[in-house]
Amino acid sequence: MEFNDYDFFVQHADINLYYATKFKAIDLAFYIVGNDGTDLLLVPDMEKERAVRESRVKEIASFGDLGYHDLRKELKDSRKAQAEMLIRLLKTHKARRVGIPTDFPAYLAIPLSQAFEVKVVKSPFLKMRAVKTQKEIEYIGDTSKAIISAFEFALKLLRREKSCDRIRERIENYLYLKGYLASDTIISSGKLSAIPHASGGIVEDHVVMDIFPRSRKHYYYSDFTRTVIVNRNDKIEEMLNAVIEAQEKAISIIREGITAKDVHYTVCDVLESYGYKTLRQKANEGFIHSTGHGVGLEVHEEPRIFENETVLEAGMVFTVEPGLYYKDIGGVRVEDVVVVRKNGCEVLTEYPKRIYLNSI
Amino acid sequence: MEFNDYDFFVQHADINLYYATKFKAIDLAFYIVGNDGTDLLLVPDMEKERAVRESRVKEIASFGDLGYHDLRKELKDSRKAQAEMLIRLLKTHKARRVGIPTDFPAYLAIPLSQAFEVKVVKSPFLKMRAVKTQKEIEYIGDTSKAIISAFEFALKLLRREKSCDRIRERIENYLYLKGYLASDTIISSGKLSAIPHASGGIVEDHVVMDIFPRSRKHYYYSDFTRTVIVNRNDKIEEMLNAVIEAQEKAISIIREGITAKDVHYTVCDVLESYGYKTLRQKANEGFIHSTGHGVGLEVHEEPRIFENETVLEAGMVFTVEPGLYYKDIGGVRVEDVVVVRKNGCEVLTEYPKRIYLNSI
């Protein structure tokens, strides 16, 4: 890894550190890479042995190895001692320009910015994560299959269970026992479904089910939404038809080389052609969110599929999830996960989109 | 809430924001409190309605309400636009000194520190969270009961199941179906147990089981560890006896008014009296971690029970978890959760500590 805008990059303990090192930090850890060849994982003393066992990084140091305990006694503050430990380490490497990720914690970011020319940047690992390996695509495919099996289980439940919270609980239990952890699953109906992230209530005319678990083994997410028609409702069905057409049109244009914006505006074009409002028109009802987001070790990651110029690359995995939301009617959404290929894209969550409960 | 060291405090979306506002942010949100009476929850446009429904905060603004979208167009960068939105908002309130939490993200911390006199402090909500209400204690008690029932289930499993990973999976499934989410449960045996956070392997002479789920309903954690003797091993049993004595002695002195250090050093005194080494002696084997940590909406929170002078207050809830770890022998640990009271403490995870699998 070679950086242009800085000589060293310091990653704190989050999913990027896991991605880059394969070490699952409990609380604290730092991964430091430099243009001078530095490739160092820095962990609390107690974690050093586990880091040696689990991480792919060759050079592992403990806080103690770098004089942290004396610094803590001297400065009487563990956070100041951590900052000083990092500053001294970077100085021994003659660092001048240091990159830190946007969410790097303030108690370290501010002292570092006083000691070095600090650049706050998107973590380079975020960018690497956006393009998946074949193995990662298999993992996301595996989670996708589990979601579809849970969704079919939910369709059966929907015949007798009318509490959205209870359906949600049953879906999450089902997935957990199969080895997947779903949190914040959205099951909403009636007018409540006009709030994209709301969940709960009683099953009315239609149900939006948005299920996005991660594997308990390989940790990769997938994300899938279907809108099920329970009782005929012309307005909801018209909205759903427009959303399905917009989603399919968008999926049909996805391939290496086009931009995120091309995908998003394809969705907007179709929805607007039916008279629905979109964010492009500064609407606060209608299509009021982005078209999608990357999926991987996090449920929301790069690339974002919105008004951005991000160029799609083969191996990128993201959702395509147009929706329409009206307070007086309710909301509908259809969501699939796709992998970008050279000449098109592959859908990992293939499943019918027009689902009438009474005709299943 | 009245601040001394700053006039405004800005909390980003984490568990502290949930604690303070009762709004579960998905990605972004800010909670701003000020000595001028400001008490404002700031959320993405799409979340405003849900925030109004769920939060206890009266004044709720969306990013759009504060001109975010124009800023994003002008600055062509959503992070810069967020920083500018916050800076403008704070300036309209004539803010001069602004407090931010230690883990506030760098992309906002650095611009704010250029616009105001910024103090990076422990979130005041962390401190508030350390002292629990009766309701919160009931929640932690509820999770504690679930853990003990899962532990008894695990003891039965241990008669026939020899894979630590499989025992872990069964415990986590058991808890999930009862409404609790356990991640990173530690089931370790033999010499692997000398690494405090390692899990896995085959059941040998003794098993350390460290179980710390949170409720899927009220979100509160509890944390509990027992060391089960499977086959007699004199060294392990001697270590376990010393650890139990150290833990009970420490629990016996806990009451309002003493310090965290008093508790930690009580543990060290007992262990050292048996010739075991502790961190106080800069040991890298023996008792190589702190005595405990607060438990609540996070599994590790305030107060820390280590060499710190934190004065214990009635209503604080934390673990007391001495352990001993030797590479050539293995590790043992015993952990309970206690509530500090005026004249003593109450154990929320009451359960026998000397457990011989063959005499159950």
Interchain CB contact of B80 with A (< 8 Å): no
Q: Tell which wins on pLDDT, A281 or A245.
A: A245
Task: Work out the average pLDDT over A39-48.
Answer: 94
B312, β-bridge pairs: none
CATH of span A8-129: 3.40.350.10
Predicted local confidence at residue B270, as pLDDT = 98
Amino acid at A175: L
CA distance A343 to chain B (A): 31
Contact A247, A320 (CB under 8 A): yes
Nearest by Cα to B162 from B202, B120, B207: B202
pLDDT, tens digit, for every residue of A103-131?
Answer: 999 999 999 999 999 999 999 999 999 99
Per-residue pLDDT band for B354 (boundaries 50, 70, 90) equals very high
pLDDT, tens digit, for every residue of A292-346?
Answer: 999 999 999 999 999 999 999 999 999 999 999 999 999 999 999 999 999 999 9
Predicted local confidence at residue A360, as pLDDT = 63
Interchain CB contact of B181 with A (< 8 Å): yes
CA distance B110 to chain A (A): 7
Predicted local confidence at residue A330, as pLDDT = 96
CB-CB: which of A113, A197, A288 is closest to B50?
Answer: A197
Name the residue of chain A whose CA is nearest to B48's CA: A195
Name the residue of chain B whose CA is nearest to A78's CA: B308
**HEC secondary structure over A232-279:** CCHHHHHHHHHHHHHHHHHHHHCCCCCEHHHHHHHHHHHHHHCCCCEH
User: Hey, what are A96's tokens?
Assistant: 């001048």
- B-chain residues within 8 Å CB-CB of A176? 173, 176-177
Domain ranges of chain B: 8-129, 131-359
pLDDT, tens digit, for every residue of B76-88?
Answer: 999 999 999 999 9
pLDDT, tens digit, for every residue of A154-170?
Answer: 999 999 999 999 999 99
Predicted local confidence at residue A8, as pLDDT = 97
Kindly tell me if the per-residue pLDDT of A4 is higher than 90. Answer: no
CB-CB: which of B46, B173, B184 is closest to A289?
Answer: B46
pLDDT, tens digit, for every residue of B25-44?
Answer: 977 999 999 999 999 999 99
Alpha carbons A105 and A95: distance in angstroms, whole number: 20
- Here the ipTM equals 0.83
Percent of all residues in chain B with a pLDDT value above 90, rounded to a whole number? 93
Cβ contact (<8 Å) for A113 and B110? Answer: yes
Interchain CB contact of B109 with A (< 8 Å): yes
- B-chain residues within 8 Å CB-CB of A100? 106
- A-chain residues within 8 Å CB-CB of B177? 173, 176-177
CB-CB: which of A47, A103, A104 is closest to B197?
Answer: A47
Kindly tell me if the per-residue pLDDT of B257 is higher than 80. Answer: yes
Task: Work out the average pLDDT over A81-95.
Answer: 97
CB-CB: which of B106, B184, B300 is closest to A104?
Answer: B106
Q: Is domain A131-359 in CATH 3.90.230.10, yes or no?
A: yes
- B-chain residues within 8 Å CB-CB of A173? 176-177
Instruction: Using DSSP, state whether B225 is helix, strand or coil.
Output: strand
B104, B129, B222, B225 from B297: Cα distances, Å:
19, 8, 9, 19
- B-chain residues within 8 Å CB-CB of A196? 46
- B-chain residues within 8 Å CB-CB of A27? 300
- Mean pLDDT of the residues in chain A: 96
Residue among B23, B49, B168 with most chain A CBs within 10 A, to mutate = B49
CB < 8 Å & 24+ apart, contacts of B262-265: B263/B291, B263/B292, B263/B305, B263/B312, B263/B320, B264/B290, B264/B291, B264/B305, B264/B306, B264/B307, B265/B307
- B-chain residues within 8 Å CB-CB of A289? 46
Predicted local confidence at residue A2, as pLDDT = 81
Q: Which of residues 260-299 of B touch A (CB under 8 A)?
A: 282, 284, 288-289
Predicted local confidence at residue A198, as pLDDT = 86
Predicted local confidence at residue B137, as pLDDT = 98
pLDDT, tens digit, for every residue of B188-240?
Answer: 999 999 988 889 999 999 999 999 999 999 999 999 999 999 999 999 999 99
Task: Work out the average pLDDT over B292-310.
Answer: 96
Name the residue of chain A whose CA is nearest to B25's CA: A197
CB-CB: which of B24, B79, B198 is closest to A50?
Answer: B198
Kindly tell me if the per-residue pLDDT of B360 is higher than 70. Answer: no
B55 conformational bin, left if phi > 0, alpha if psi -120 to 50, beta if neither:
beta
pLDDT, tens digit, for every residue of A266-295?
Answer: 999 999 999 999 999 888 899 999 999 999
Kindly tell me if the per-residue pLDDT of A185 is higher than 70. Answer: yes
Per-residue pLDDT band for B4 (boundaries 50, 70, 90) equals confident
pLDDT, tens digit, for every residue of B134-174?
Answer: 999 999 999 999 999 999 999 999 999 999 999 999 999 99
CA distance A141 to chain B (A): 22
Kindly tell me if the per-residue pLDDT of A10 is higher than 90. Answer: yes
Interchain CB contact of B47 with A (< 8 Å): yes
Kindly tell me if the per-residue pLDDT of A26 is higher than 80. Answer: no
CA distance B38 to chain A (A): 23
Beta carbon pairs, A and B, within 8 Å: 96
The bridge status of strand A224-229 relative to strand A206-211 is antiparallel
Cβ contact (<8 Å) for B104 and A105? Answer: yes
Task: Work out the average pLDDT over A168-178.
Answer: 97
CB-CB: which of A110, A177, A284 is closest to B173?
Answer: A177
A127, B231, B251, B275 from B324: Cα distances, Å:
42, 18, 18, 12
pLDDT, tens digit, for every residue of B100-138?
Answer: 999 999 999 999 999 999 999 999 999 999 999 999 999
